[in-house]
Amino acid sequence: MTAARALDPAIRVQGIEKSFKDLQVLRGVGFEVKAGSIFALLGSNGAGKTTLVRILSTLLRPDAGTASVNGFDVGAEPAGVRGSISLGGQFAAVDEVLTGRENLVLVARLRHVKDPGAVADSLLARFDLAEAGDRRAATYSGGMRRRLDIAMSLIGDPPVIFLDEPTTGLDPQARIEVWQTIRQLAGGGTTVLLTTQYLDEAEQLADRIAILHQGTIIQNGTLAELKQLLPPAKVEYVEKQPSLEDVFLALVGDTRKEPR
């Protein structure tokens, strides 16, 4: 990578549009993500979050606009993008017949990483799975499977990881485990783009939050900046600061009333 690219944001999105027949899903989306940060793309079902992740990971072509990941243009340099990223979805992509360690070794071999066994052992330790490494993945809890899935996605040390609603369907304890894993990723310098429909998830994890509504980014900022959009409410003469939920509902309304 050139020195100029190294100075770029880890992710840059400008004017991205995407339609499926008559349905316009993305309408000129734009934002930047700083390297080593956690960026949350917050929106309700159908807001266009997964479509945007598919575009950024070169699985889908936009109708208009440009995007770059780790300095590589998504349209012109897809191989460079794919070599820079990893993608995790809503469901853990682990082989339940294999043990946790075998899953990691398999992926390491497929990616032609040197010493797959050592890489697997290192990741098991990093994600607190060492004691369960020789157990079949079918015996893992939901949180353990998701952590294993994220560990598998990190083989090869990609600088950018996309996590598309990674805690969907998990119980509260498993969600906390995944949150801790995501914090560890950013702490180690990995750039994380997280899509979520959970307000508390964005509030707990993100350095910056972009609210995607009806295909456009309607607000983008830190949690503190977003809270400043609403004045504090006075409850018995005591100011109550607005929550992210207050901000989200004020901006997009009650999404439960909208068709999905």
pLDDT the model gives residue 260? 37
Domains, the chain: 3-94+140-257 (3.40.50.300)
pLDDT the model gives residue 56? 97
pLDDT the model gives residue 254? 59
pLDDT along the chain (260 residues), means of 10: 60 97 95 96 90 96 97 96 86 86 94 93 91 95 87 89 87 85 90 92 94 94 87 53 77 56
pLDDT the model gives residue 230? 72
pLDDT the model gives residue 158? 92
CA atoms within 13 A of residue 192's CA, in its CB half-sphere: 32
